[in-house]
Amino acid sequence: MSPIQNEPTHRFLRACRNLPVDRIPVWMMRQAGRYQPTYRAVRQKVGFLELCHSPELIAQVTASPIDEFGFDAAILFSDILIHLPAMGLDLSFEKGEKGKGDGGPKIANPVRTRADVDALKIPDPARDLPYVAAGIQAIQKTLAGRVPLIGFVGGPFTVASYAVEGGSQGFTRLKTLLYTDPAAAHALFEKLTRAAIVQLQAQIEAGAQAVQIFESWLGELGREDLEAYVFPYLARIAEAVRPLGVPSILFSTTTSTHIAPMAKLGYDVLSVDWRIPIAEARALAPDLAMQGNLDSILLLGPKALLLERTRKLLEEGSRRPGYVFNLGHGITPPTPPENVKAVVDAVHAFPVPRG
Ligand code: CP3
């Protein structure tokens, strides 16, 4: 048998392509973050945005969970809102600066009118976000081929929710914009889609080997609005990534009722939350690989329950190839690092079913 050309060797990339693996690959959203003493030490010295602007610190923070826990993939350390200043929005993470408090994003001049939408610029990654590509190159040097690197952007709906509300303040203004001025809403999603695509292209060109679209808050919309305002834009992003040859992952939460239509958008992997049993989710998307879906709060303990649920998820998720172990959403700051290590070790000890 001759090997398929370009068949990936890393187990994470193999799972994304529905290929057999030696061990189930595992990574966790927010695997680099405040639950790590090493991350908190960096944040004692620099603000969150300052960290995202430093290629050296990006590489250090991105690689640290690989060294500490043995994850099978790294994810670029950045943020889904990183490009908003280049679009003309005044972004800060004030309260979280210098290691204090919960650094929620704030936008001083949120998008409220059609004129605000029209004033938004499409970022030029090479000119406006050079530290992202430089960060990716620095990460690749640090990782030296040990594990693949995932790049990412925010989905248009999720980024719009921050751009319109001015921070993590809910969805009423954005949904009202959809219902009162659909043309302005489409113009906004159009610009955020173009901004997402150029960033993904730049990240892949710089060395990202997979990409994840964070559409975290999709569950806020019903099917009719998803079909009108979200799915067409997400399909365009998938279509733009496909010729670049890296697998694409669509992440969202509270969307278990929309798995079948989301499976048709052109992504290789769907990342699902804990609101649906993994086997049920896989049955709804039979051709795709799937990522998820341990409840992040289980990582707080008790450890016996955490390991019991991990084992059950492995059994139910891995009945056929194309399974990536992950959480349903990100690691939370109070997580004991030893519990993260225990889950990674349990995933790697699990014998992959054959056939
Ligand atoms: O997953 C990773 O480890 C990669 C890095 C990453 C961050 N943010 C780092 C971060 C990624 C992929 C994101 C995505 C992101 N950013 C999302 C979608 C993911 C999700 O959780 O649903 C959203 C909604 C944002 C916007 C954002 N950034 C918020 C709402 C906050 C404050 C809330 C919080 O968790 O602190 C941030 C700040 C942020 N982004 C932190 C980190 C590690 C904490 C900043 C700090 O160090 O104080």
Q: Is residue 65 in contact with ligand 1, taking CB distance under 6 Å?
A: no
Q: Is residue 216 in contact with ligand 1, taking CB distance under 6 Å?
A: yes
- For residue 354, being part of any structural domain is answered with no
Q: Measured between alpha carbons, how far is 194 from 86 in angstroms, rounded to an integer?
A: 13
pLDDT higher for 181 or 95? Answer: 181
Strand extents, DSSP E, 245-302: 248-252, 269-271, 289-294
- For residue 144, being part of any structural domain is answered with yes
Q: Which atom of ligand 1 is nearest to the CA of 104?
A: 32
User: Percent of the chain having pLDDT more than 70?
Assistant: 96
- For residue 2, being part of any structural domain is answered with no
- Could you tell me the distance, in angstroms and rounded to a whole number, from the CA of residue 324 to the centre of ligand 1? 21
- Which protein residue has the closest C-alpha to ligand 1 atom 11? 79
Label residue 169 by pLDDT band (50, 70, 90).
confident
Q: Measured between alpha carbons, how far is 311 from 309 in angstroms, rounded to an integer?
A: 5
Label residue 101 by pLDDT band (50, 70, 90).
very low
- For residue 184, being part of any structural domain is answered with yes
- Please give the pLDDT value at position 98: 44
**Residues 65-87, mean pLDDT to the nearest whole number:** 98
- Please give the pLDDT value at position 243: 98
Q: How far is CA 328 from CA 241, 292, 355, in A?
A: 24, 5, 27
Q: Cβ(103)–Cβ(97) under 8 Å? A: yes
- Please give the pLDDT value at position 1: 43
User: 167 by DSSP, 3-state: which?
Assistant: strand
Q: How far is CA 224 from CA 156, 229, 233, 234, in A?
A: 17, 9, 14, 15
Pocket test for ligand 1, best of 79, 91, 332 (most atoms within 8 A of CB): 79
Q: Is residue 296 in contact with ligand 1, taking CB distance under 6 Å?
A: no
Q: Is residue 219 in contact with ligand 1, taking CB distance under 6 Å?
A: no
Write out pLDDT tens, residues 314-354: 999 999 999 999 999 999 999 999 999 999 999 999 999 87
Helices and strands per DSSP (H, E), number in the chain: 17, 9
Write out pLDDT tens, residues 267-322: 999 999 999 999 999 999 999 999 999 999 999 999 999 999 999 999 999 999 99
- Which protein residue has the closest C-alpha to ligand 1 atom 22? 216
Pocket test for ligand 1, best of 31, 35, 80 (most atoms within 8 A of CB): 80
How many structural domains are present in the chain? 1
Q: Is residue 63 in contact with ligand 1, taking CB distance under 6 Å?
A: no
- For residue 197, being part of any structural domain is answered with yes
Q: Which two tokens stand for residue 44?
A: 């004692």
- For residue 3, being part of any structural domain is answered with no
- Please give the pLDDT value at position 353: 85
- For residue 201, being part of any structural domain is answered with yes
Look at 49-58, 101-110, 205-214, 316-325 and tell me which has the smallest mean pLDDT: 101-110
Smallest CA-to-CA distance from 295 within 282, 277, 281 is with 277
Q: For residue 166, what are the domain limits?
A: 11-349
Q: Is residue 96 in contact with ligand 1, taking CB distance under 6 Å?
A: yes
Q: Measured between alpha carbons, how far is 265 from 51 in angstroms, rounded to an integer?
A: 34
Residue 2, pLDDT > 80, answer no
- Could you tell me the distance, in angstroms and rounded to a whole number, from the CA of residue 33 to the centre of ligand 1? 9
Smallest CA-to-CA distance from 163 within 127, 198, 120 is with 120
**Residues 116-134, mean pLDDT to the nearest whole number:** 98
Buried b (16+ CB within 10 A) or exposed e, 10-44: bbbbbbbbbeebeebbbbbbbbbbbbbeebeebbe
Residue 95, pLDDT > 80, answer no
- For residue 4, being part of any structural domain is answered with no
Label residue 50 by pLDDT band (50, 70, 90).
very high
Pocket test for ligand 1, best of 26, 27, 28, 30 (most atoms within 8 A of CB): 30
To the nearest whole number, what is the mean pLDDT of the chain? 96
**CATH number of the CATH domain containing 173:** 3.20.20.210
